[in-house]
């Protein structure tokens, strides 16, 4: 069984720990914003290790929209490359853990619709996109 390597960012690793330990009863929002968070379990593309990445919860029916914003940083988050290498993930949404498959959204119309859902769920995404000239990647995660 591959090992789980926690995020080097303590606040992130701590949120994952609290979220999972309480089976989604606690740690389910972005700090005190009240905005819901999911956890995407993905496979490290170099280490093969289990990585757990909290993201804002953006639902599209039974699907989830995953936004590789990283606060508008100049480079994509590392998990972006993990998802491209292995699209099979698990998503925890509070007490529910679901096997999902992700694909990066490239169709302009689909991306515009999903970006609209993302910004509605978490308005700072719009500021993040302003902050960087990279196009923030969007994935759709669909139940397998
Ligand atoms: N990040 C977002 O991009 N979008 C969000 O909506 C979002 C919401 C959110 C809510 C709560 C919370 O606690 C965090 C949130 N984050 C959000 C932050 C998110 O969880 C990630 O921390 C952030 O996006 C950065 O992702 P990252 O994958 O770049 O993380 C870095 C810091 C990291 O973990 N680096 C590891 C390291 O050791 O430096 C390596 C991780 C890794 O996957 N390594 C791969 C492997 O093989 O194991 C190798 C990958 C490679 O190609 O090098």
Q: What local confidence, expressed as pLDDT, does residue 1 receive?
A: 82
Spans of all domains in the chain: 10-143
Q: Which CATH superfamily is domain 10-143 in?
A: Electron Transport, Fmn-binding Protein; Chain A (2.30.110.10)
Its pTM surpasses 0.95: yes
Q: How far apart are CA 49 and CA 112, in angstroms?
A: 33
Q: Is the CB of 31 under 6 A from ligand 1?
A: no
Report CA Rg, the chain.
14
* Atom 25 in ligand 1: residue holding the nearest Cα: 77
Nearest atom in ligand 1 to the alpha carbon of residue 56 is: 6
Give the chain's residues under pLDDT 70: none
Distance set, CA 9 to CA 12, 15, 53, 89, 109 (Å): 5, 10, 11, 21, 34
């Amino acid at each position: 069984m591959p090992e789980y390597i926690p995020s080097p960012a303590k606040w992130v690793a701590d949120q994952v720990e609290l979220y999972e330990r309480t089976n989604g009863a606690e740690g389910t929002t972005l700090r005190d914003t009240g905005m819901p968070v999911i956890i995407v379990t993905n496979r490290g593309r170099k280490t093969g290790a289990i990585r757990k990445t909290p993201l804002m919860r953006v639902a599209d029916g039974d699907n989830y929209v995953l936004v590789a914003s990283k606060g508008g940083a100049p480079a994509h988050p590392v998990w972006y490359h993990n998802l491209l290498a292995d699209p099979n993930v698990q998503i925890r949404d509070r007490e529910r853990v679901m096997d999902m498959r992700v694909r990066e959204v490239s169709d302009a119309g689909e991306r515009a619709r999903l970006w609209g859902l993302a910004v509605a769920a978490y308005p700072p995404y719009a500021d993040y996109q302003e902050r960087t000239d990279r196009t923030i990647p969007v994935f759709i995660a669909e139940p397998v």
